[in-house]
Amino acid sequence: MSDSELSEEFRRIYTEWGDAIAEKRHDWLEDFFADDFLGTAQPWPTLIVDKRQMIDLDKAIEAMDTVWVKVEAQRIGEDVLTVGHVRYLREDFRDGAAIGEGMPSGSQIAQLTKGKIAVYTNAWRHNGKRWQCYDHHLVAVIEDKGFD
């Protein structure tokens, strides 16, 4: 599979993830994240989540509208690394949604990304049935100035 085909495959996976959140198909999330999942986000150096916290955070999203505008994937041995740029049109969290002590609330996260492009790096491994995300990192939020 070429890098461009791999990138398109992961664009579809990212889109399916967003659709699962928007459609509240929470059971889909259980197998999407690997058991050893780790997530972080800038500009919050204290934001570190495991699989359960990430699923709970995704479940706290009441409405979401995003578009993956660019996804680049590269195979590293058996794993895949991706860089994805997502346009956040809307992301509304349940009132009071919190991750944990010393971490931002859902509303703070949504405030940061609304109307902007968030850049994520992710690492993936195949479990024999599907690709699972085991590392997920928000590395930057940039202004959406005709990014297509």
The token pair that represents 136 in the structure block: 């997920």
pLDDT of residue 148: 59
CA-to-CA distance for 33 and 98, rounded, in angstroms?
Answer: 20
- How does DSSP classify residue 138? E
Of 39, 33, 123, 126, nearest to 81 by C-alpha is 123
**Whats the size of the chain, residue-wise?**
148
pLDDT digits (tens, 9 = 90+) for 96-122: 777 777 778 888 888 888 899 999 999
Whether the CB-CB separation of 106 and 120 falls below 8 Å is answered with: no
pTM of model > 0.85 = yes
CA-to-CA distance for 101 and 110, rounded, in angstroms?
Answer: 18
Whether the CB-CB separation of 125 and 34 falls below 8 Å is answered with: yes
CATH number of 3-143: 3.10.450.50
pLDDT of residue 147: 64
